[in-house]
Amino acid sequence: MSTPAIAVNEVTVHYGPVVALDRASFTLEPGRICGLIGMNGSGKSTLFKAIMGMAAPDFGTVAINGESTASARRAGILGYVPQSEDVDWDFPLSVREVVMMGRYGHMGPLRLRKRADREAVDEALERVELTEYADRQIGQLSGGQKKRAFVARGIAQGATILLLDEPFAGVDKRTEATITSLLRELAAAGATVLVSTHDLHALPDLADEAILLMRRVLLQGDPQEILQPENLALAFGLDVLNAGAAT
């Protein structure tokens, strides 16, 4: 049996007296896209931070390819696209420099840029269709372009596991389609993708499987099955049974 790309076991995280995650457990295999769905406050962002090693669990473990999150980060395996509100868009960095940050793990302590680093950044920018914006300050981009810049950072990094926290929030349909197509390409090449989204209608086209989260993993399986109203009601409430969907 192959080693899971991501293995989360009984992970519990508190913020003071508040329980953000309660014994959350799941595994993801390589080459799969998994959609993470749940209400605001269900623990999605905390789960991403626990996987990244940015939020230490009070209980439970996270393994990346059978190793610790710290080892995975040092190896450059993990790529992270945060929510927009978690980024200082006024920081004086160009789009190219943001993407180049993904190459830091490939550089020495002086971060001297080699030809391979520049080529990796150029290729990543081309794949997300941001080449013409490379020298623009990151905060000057549109919402969708900002998301694509961080996806490019993960590509330049060579990450084989990508975590995307609400990458479709506030973006137009063209950008959503571009990101979805790119994620499908990366998964086909062996990458593992965990992406949180409120766009439930697009979930079957995006993901191979889905996780329903309400501080713990309520269900994991085929997106069409997860999206059944009686299942969504477990996390979103009984209104889903009347509305037939949730946002």
- What pLDDT score was predicted for residue 142? 86
- What pLDDT score was predicted for residue 247? 39
d(CA 77, CA 91): 26
- What pLDDT score was predicted for residue 1? 66
SS3 sequence of the chain: CCCCCEEEEEEEEEECCEEEEEEEEEEECCCCEEEEECCCCCCHHHHHHHHHCCCCCCEEEEEECCECHHHHHHCCCEEEECCHHHCCCCCCCEHHHHHHHHHHHHCCCCCCCCHHHHHHHHHHHHHCCCHHHCCCEHHHCCHHHHHHHHHHHHHHHCCCEEEEECCCCCCCHHHHHHHHHHHHHHHHCCCEEEEECCCHHHHHHHCCEEEEEECEEEEEECHHHHCCHHHHHHHHCCHHHHHCCCC
- What pLDDT score was predicted for residue 244? 45
- Contact between 204 and 46 under an 8 Å Cβ cutoff? The reply is no
- What pLDDT score was predicted for residue 98? 92
- What pLDDT score was predicted for residue 104? 84
- What pLDDT score was predicted for residue 52? 92
d(CA 48, CA 62): 11
- What pLDDT score was predicted for residue 86? 66
Ordered domains of the chain (ranges, CATH) = 1-77+160-171+189-247 (3.40.50.300), 89-158 (no CATH)
Average pLDDT, consecutive stretches of 10 residues, N- to C-terminus, the chain (247 residues): 91 94 96 95 94 93 94 88 75 91 78 87 94 93 88 91 90 86 93 93 93 96 94 76 44
pTM: 0.88
Angle, CA of 91, 97 and 101, to the nearest 5°:
100
- What pLDDT score was predicted for residue 241? 46
